[in-house]
Amino acid sequence: MEFLEVIRKRKTTNGPFLETPVSKEHQHLLMEAASRAPSHFNSQPWRFVLIENAATRQRIAELGGASMERLIAEGKFFERYRPYFRFSEEEMEERRDGILIDQLPGPLRPFTRQIMSPRALGLLRTLRVPQLLGEDNRKLVAGSPLLLAALLDKAEYRPGELSGFYSLLGLGMAIENIWLTTVELGMGIQFVSTPMEVPEAWAEIKRLLEVPETLELMAVYRLGYLPPEKPRPRIDWKSSHRKRIGQYVFRESCKTPEGEA
Q: Which residues make Cβ contacts (< 8 Å) with residue 160, sequence separation at least 6?
A: none
Q: What band does 113 get if pLDDT is binned at 50, 70 and 90?
A: low
Q: Please, are residues 78 and 118 in contact by the beta-carbon 8 Å criterion?
A: yes
HSE, side-chain direction, 13 A CA sphere, residue 134: 20
pLDDT at 116 over 60: no
Percentage of residues of the chain with pLDDT beyond 90: 73
Q: Which residues pair with 46 in a beta bridge?
A: 152
The pLDDT of 200-207, averaged and rounded, is 99
Given a cut of 90, whether residue 55 has pLDDT beyond it is yes
CATH number of the domain located at residue range(s) 1-52+145-230 in this protein:
3.40.109.10
E strands within the chain? 46-51, 85-86, 99-103, 146-153, 187-191, 215-225, 236-238
Read off the pLDDT band of 110 (50, 70, 90). Answer: low
Q: For residue 99, list its beta bridge partners.
A: 85
Say which amino acid occupies 79.
Answer: E
Look at residue 118 in the predicted model and tell me its pLDDT. 57
Quote the mean pLDDT of the chain.
Answer: 92
For the segment 97-108, the average pLDDT, to the nearest whole number, is 78
**Which position has the higher pLDDT, 237 or 109?**
237
pLDDT at 117: 60
Q: In b/e form, how buried is each residue of 159-194, taking b as 16+ CB within 10 angstroms?
A: eeeebbebbbebbebbbebbbbbbbebebbbbebeb
What is the tens place of the pLDDT at every residue in 121-170? 676 777 788 898 899 999 999 999 999 999 999 999 999 999 999 999 99
With a pLDDT cut of 70, the percent of the chain lying above it is 93
Q: Mean of the pLDDT values across residues 192-211?
A: 98
- Indicate the pLDDT class of residue 31, thresholds 50, 70 and 90: very high
Across the range 86-92, mean pLDDT stands at 89
Per-residue pLDDT at 159 = 93
Q: Measuring CA to CA, how many Å separate 60 from each of 112, 141, 192, 201?
A: 30, 8, 9, 9
Give which of 181, 11, 194, 173 is closest to 99, Cα–Cα: 11
Please, which pLDDT band fits residue 201 given cuts at 50, 70 and 90?
very high
Confidence of residue 77 (pLDDT cuts 50, 70, 90): confident
